[in-house]
Amino acid sequence: MAWATVLCTVPSCVWRLSLGFGVDVGFTGRLGTLYQGTPIMVYVLMLSVASQAAACLTLGLVRPWGEQVPHWIPRLGGRRIPPLVVVVPAATGALAVTGLCAAVTLAPAGPLANPDFPHGPAGLIMDACYAPLLAWGPLVAVLTLAYARRRRAGAGTAS
């Protein structure tokens, strides 16, 4: 399930990077001219790297490096990571991503209602690329809950 969090962010990253590298993804009017050139390329590259990095951090909820700092990290290697140091940001991220995705998709006058947004086949492609993001927050929430339960159970047996 942790890999699903990583994979559900890939289609939107590919779509954004296509936009950033000049592919016509269907924006028209003011947005069509705004979403061109170096500034948008830098923006979508940074956003894509950040979202993929955040998604990859989810793997720490199921891997040993989410419970203990890897030994190769100077001064901290081998130390146990307190569960709340992982649970609080993961839960916050899950809520933030879920809330943002819900707000964008459910807001009647939100960004998707903009007439300059892609429509027709381009709109369907954009929707298909962004739809998996609706699962990202809930998947992180489930993994965070499982991590917290596992760490709490492990703490009880270590006494």
How buried is residue 55: exposed, middle or buried, by Cβ count under 10 Å (0-12/13-18/19+)? buried
Distance CA 117, CA 43 (A): 18
pLDDT band at 159 (very low <50, low <70, confident <90, very high): very low
Q: What is the pLDDT of residues 3-16, one digit of tens each?
A: 999 999 999 999 99
The mean predicted confidence, pLDDT, of the chain is 92
Q: What is the pLDDT of residues 107-127, one digit of tens each?
A: 888 888 889 999 999 999 999
pLDDT(156) > 70:
no
